[in-house]
Amino acid sequence: MIENYRHISFDLDGTLVHTVPEYRYMIVPKVVERLGGVSPSKRAIDRFWFESTRNRIIESEFKLDPISFWTVYQQHDLAAERDRHTHAYDDAAPVIALLKQMGKTISIITGAPERIAKMEMAKLNGAPIDFYCSTTSRGFLEKPNPESFHFVLRKLDIPPADTLYIGNSNEDAFFAKNAGVDFIYLERKQHEFDEKEWMVATVHSLHDLIKSSISKS
């Protein structure tokens, strides 16, 4: 049962909150155009948004230098603007509250910069989060490098064997695998997922975490 896990950790954007696709289709082309890159297709933008090899995509698809791209991107990706395009999934805050009632330690590990992460977490209506980590703002390598996950586990003094990570992408699955923790894929129907080897289950709603018999391998 899920009771076997002491620590439930979540990805943020795409898992607990949703940024509408129109936002990325608006902001990414603006940045690329300003820098004189190749106009990206929606598929290229989706790959940039959801996959872990973003710098490689910036180079191969947008034909731009990643450092220059990120400098301009952060000037456009403002928390106030993204706030208008972001909402919490209906199941996020209630399920986190239920997990806390079950005595779970709750964390969030996200690649979003802190200014964006704080805005997104505010959408969760005060859901009880014990610890969160913005890998970008803390200077860690991006997912799926596990150093940020290991940092969180040390902070919480909880071993990988007692931890379950929940996310919505291949990047999240590899992140969990590299950190040595179990992974549940949350199907939000936003993009393709094919890294099924490491997951212990697929759920279509966070409510399934409470209803299903999900156990450690």
Asked which of 83, 106, 128 is the last residue of a domain, the reply is: 83
28 and 116 share a domain? Answer: no
Chain centroid offset of residue 134 CA: 10
98 and 200 share a domain? Answer: yes
52 and 106 share a domain? Answer: no
In the numeric block, the tokens 């230098």 are attached to: 65
Asked which of 51, 67, 83 is the last residue of a domain, the reply is: 83
204 and 125 share a domain? Answer: yes
Amino acid in position 149: F
39 and 63 share a domain? Answer: yes
161 and 121 share a domain? Answer: yes
Q: What domain range is 134 assigned to?
A: 2-18+87-211
Q: What's this model's pTM, rounded to 2 decimal places?
A: 0.90
Angle, vertex CA 138, rays to CA 136 and CA 143, nearest 5: 45
Residue 118 falls inside a structural domain: yes
- Helices 42-50/21-35 angle, 10° precision: 100
Other Cβ atoms within 10 Å of 152 Cβ, number: 21
Identify the CATH number of the domain in which residue 156 sits.
3.40.50.1000
Q: How far apart are CA 169 and CA 182, in angstroms?
A: 14
Phi/psi of residue 183, each to 5°? Answer: -135, 135
pLDDT given for residue 131 in this prediction: 97
Count: domains in the chain? 2
In the numeric block, the tokens 């200014």 are attached to: 115
174 and 71 share a domain? Answer: no
pLDDT digits (tens, 9 = 90+) for 91-131: 999 999 999 999 999 999 999 899 999 999 999 999 999 99
Containing 99, the helix (H) or strand (E) segment is: helix 92-101
Residue 217 falls inside a structural domain: no
67 and 125 share a domain? Answer: no
pLDDT digits (tens, 9 = 90+) for 118-170: 999 999 999 999 999 999 889 898 889 999 999 999 999 999 999 999 999 88
CB 144 within 8 Å of CB 51: no
